[in-house]
Structure 1
Amino acid sequence: MTRLNLVLLLAVVVSALYLVRVQYDSRRLYTEIERARNEARKLDTDRERLVAEKRGQATPLRVERLAKEQLQMRPSGPGITQYVSRGPGNVAHAGARP
């Protein structure tokens, strides 16, 4: 009878230790999941901010202003357009292969 009680006591102690270990692992994993969710929320917020910033940077008025100021570009017009034409011996005909 004493052996049976010792075996049962040992089984209860082992079971209790296993339960404590499982609860510890469960809490640790839950904490990691919450950290990952918080990181995902932060990344989503950063992504939305960057997308909005990108939209703001690519507006046509801003691009035109930067082209004028930084690249010294100007709008094209008939007065500054140069047309290139082929010489008389190099005229391409419709349907002709080069």
Structure 2
Amino acid sequence: MTRLNLVLLLALLASAFALVTVRYESRRLYVANERARAQATRLAAEHERLVAEQRALAAPWRVQHIAQRQLQMRAAHPAITEYVALSPTDVGAGGRP
């Protein structure tokens, strides 16, 4: 009977240790999962902010403003357009008509 009690006590201790280990692992994984969810939420918000910023930077009026002010570009119109005619030697050298 004493041996049976000793075996049952060892089985009880082993199962208690396994239970504590599994609960600790479960808690650790839950915390890691919550951190990952929080990071995913932060990254989604950052992505939305960056998409909005990209839209603002690529707005046609802003591109035109930068082209005119910083790059000194101007819109093309017939008064300043130059037409170049290709000679037959240019066409034979690989140029396209």
TM-score, normalising length from structure 1? 0.87
Letter in 2 for 1:25: E
Q: Establish whether residue 76 from structure 1 lines up as the match of residue 76 from structure 2.
A: yes
Aligned residue in 1 for 2:32: 32
- For residues 1-98 of structure 1, the aligned pairs below 5 Å read 1-87=1-87, 89=88
Amino acid at match of 1:10: L
TM-score (norm 2): 0.88
RMSD: 1.7
Higher relative contact order (CA 8 A, sep 6+): 2
Residue segments in structure 1 that go unaligned for 5+ positions in a row: 93-97
Partner secondary structure for residue 80 of structure 2:
coil
AA matched with 1:33: N
Aligned counterparts of 1:66 and 1:25: Cα–Cα separation in 2: 57
Shift of 1:78: 1.0
Q: In the aligned structure 2, how far is the partner of 1:70 from the partner of 1:12?
A: 79
Identical positions, percent: 56
AA aligned to 1:20 is V
SS of 1:24's equivalent in the other structure is helix
How far apart are the structure 1 equivalents of 2:84 and 2:69?
29
| Whole-angstrom distance in 2 between the partners of 1:36 and 1:71 | 45
- For structure 2, the 5+ residue unaligned runs are 92-96
1:64 alignment partner, SS class: helix
- The count of corresponding residues between Structure 1 and Structure 2 is 92
